[in-house]
Amino acid sequence: MARILIVDDSIIMRRNLTSILKEVGHTIVGEAANGTQAYLQYRIHKPDIVTMDITMPNMDGLDALKQILEDDPAAKVIMISALDQKSKVYTALRNGAMHYIIKPLTADKITSVIDSVLIKETKQEQTIQTQEPQEAAFDISNEEGEFIISINRDLYVQDVIVMMGAIHGFLYLDDPYICFKFDKYNALDEESLTKFDAIINKIRSSNGRFEIRAKNPSFITRLTDKDNQLRKSFEINEFILK
């Protein structure tokens, strides 16, 4: 379980977060009502994760994120934002935030994002311990409001689980658009393929839009065999689904 610092100018929001996080076994090491306090609390407690509200007095969440990362580039900060703050969320992600949660907050949203960040951290620690560095399975970038997931190597089950956790937060945005780019690596074992198909179905059920880019005909065939709805609109070199 994680040691967490909660940053929000609303005492009610801090209490709600504290209650949810304690209930699933996390430890709250500190609270802060603005960015200045957050920076000081981070230096004192060195938490595993920070939940950071964006809009706060004195110093907002973006400036606090910047200061914390300047001190500790490995800091894991999850931004908390209202729906009308998309541009600030994208800025935070570009500046080093690990993830974000869109208000209104629910226990499912919070625990899902926290778990996805912890899973990623655990994988990184295991890689270091075994002294077998491996390229990240995928990268996520934001291009004018569209999330681009670029596959860097063959995907395994744990990679797809981490991807699912990352995408979960995007689905709370209004009309999310996600592009999967399998330009170089098209290998998915059967279990990974099943979980990837679950991601596609989750995007559909959330009224999101998505695009899949691939160049390997056999990979496309396997994917469309798994999901009949994909088969209706694929092209061999590059197929687009919306």
| CATH number of the domain enclosing 55 | 3.40.50.2300
CB distance 82 to 108 below 8 Å: no
What string of DSSP letters covers 63-85? HHHHHHHHH-TT--EEEEE-GGG
Query: pLDDT tens for residues 164-191?
Result: 777 776 776 777 888 888 876 666 777 7
| Same domain, yes or no: 97 and 159 | no
Number of domains in the chain: 2
Q: Cβ distance 21 to 28 under 8 Å? A: yes
Which pLDDT band holds residue 231 (cuts at 50, 70, 90)? low
Contact 198, 164 (CB under 8 A): yes
pTM of the predicted structure, to 2 decimals: 0.56
- Out of 88, 105, 122, a domain closes at 105
Task: List the single range of 38-42, 54-58, 77-81, 205-209 with lowest mean pLDDT.
Answer: 205-209
CA distance 68 to 64: 6
Residue 183, domain extent: 138-231
Last residue of a domain, one of 81, 105, 129: 105
Residue 109 or residue 133, greater confidence: 109
pLDDT for res 198: 84
pLDDT single digits (tens) 97-106: 888 888 888 8
Domain shared by 153 and 226, yes or no: yes
- Cα–Cα distance between 204 and 223 in angstroms, integer? 16
Q: Are 147 and 178 in contact (CB under 8 A)?
A: yes
Q: Are 162 and 116 in contact (CB under 8 A)?
A: yes
Residue 196: what pLDDT?
A: 82
